[in-house]
Every structure is written in C-alpha cells, then in structure tokens.
Amino acid sequence: MGFKNNSRFVVMMRAEHANCEAGWQEYLDHISKCDLPQRQQEWLHIDVRAMFSSTPLLHHELDRESGESLLFLHDSLVLLCPQQRILHHFPRHLIHCFVEDRRHHVVREDTTVFRAELFSISPLEEQLCWISKCDEDHEVPVMQQRISRWMRWLNRQ
C-alpha cells in the first residue's frame, strides 16, 4: 500500500540510470576522438547505442586505429567491429584469459615482453580474440592494471 509515492525507489532508479549513461558517454566520447569514417561513427553513436539503451556499460577498451571496441557489460562482453558493422556478444562464462610474461625469456624476433588475451571458444567466425601487449618493460604496470580489470570482471559474483 505504501509503494505509490516511494521516493527512495525513484532516487535509486535515477542513480542507476545516471551510472548507465556515464559509462556510455565516456565510451562515445572516446569513439568521437578516433579517426573513423562518418558512417562508422554514426553506427556506433546511433545504432549500437540504441541497441544497448537500457544496458549499463561497466568498462570499455578501444582500438583507436580500427575502431574495434570491447564492451564489458554485467554478464557478457560485446565486440564491436564498425568497419563491417558487426556486433559479437559473448556470455562471461565462455570468456577466458591468457597472460604471457616474457620479460625473463630470450626475446626472439617478436619484441613483445608482456601479452594478455581475452578469448572465447565459440563457433567459427564468432570467436573473441582481444589481445593487448607491450614491447617495453616500463609499459608492464599499465598492462597489469588492464588485466586486473579483466580479472575483476571475470570473477565478479
């Protein structure tokens, strides 16, 4: 009987809505700074945003050259490929993480000293393979922070 004017519920919904919008606004701001063709920008800003209008975006990663994006949602990842206008959705329970620390190995032709990969084992053409790597020792702490965010997301309850 007392639910009709429950202002506490409205405030909680507004806060949730604001948090949802903040993640998306940050992502769209980062996309706007990429040198992508207008058509790809529009697809990300209008079509993708409309498809996820009520879905909170927890975190994102962006390949500034290709415009490919990895979106961290509550229980899944979305890989956006704006050049092909393809959206891939991967449930969290199908995502794996691989980390290779090569700082104490003999470096061959490949100069990568630290490499991390988020991947899924899915049907052909639907596989996730998001790789982040660094070639200098001083870049490793930034990579470790990125992996820490991945692990926090992968292991959340």
SS3 label, residue 150: helix
Q: Which two tokens stand for residue 104?
A: 């104490």
Order of strands across the sheet that contains 114-120: 95-101, 114-120, 129-134
Nearest one of 85, 77, 84 to 57, comparing CA atoms: 77
Contacts of 110 (CB under 8 A, 6+ apart): none
Burial of 113: CB neighbours in 10 Å, binned 0-12, 13-18, 19+: buried
Q: Tens digit of pLDDT per residue, the chain (157 long)?
A: 444 443 333 333 334 445 668 899 999 999 999 899 999 999 999 999 999 988 999 999 999 888 999 999 999 999 999 999 999 999 999 999 999 998 887 666 667 889 999 999 766 666 888 999 998 889 999 999 999 999 999 998 7
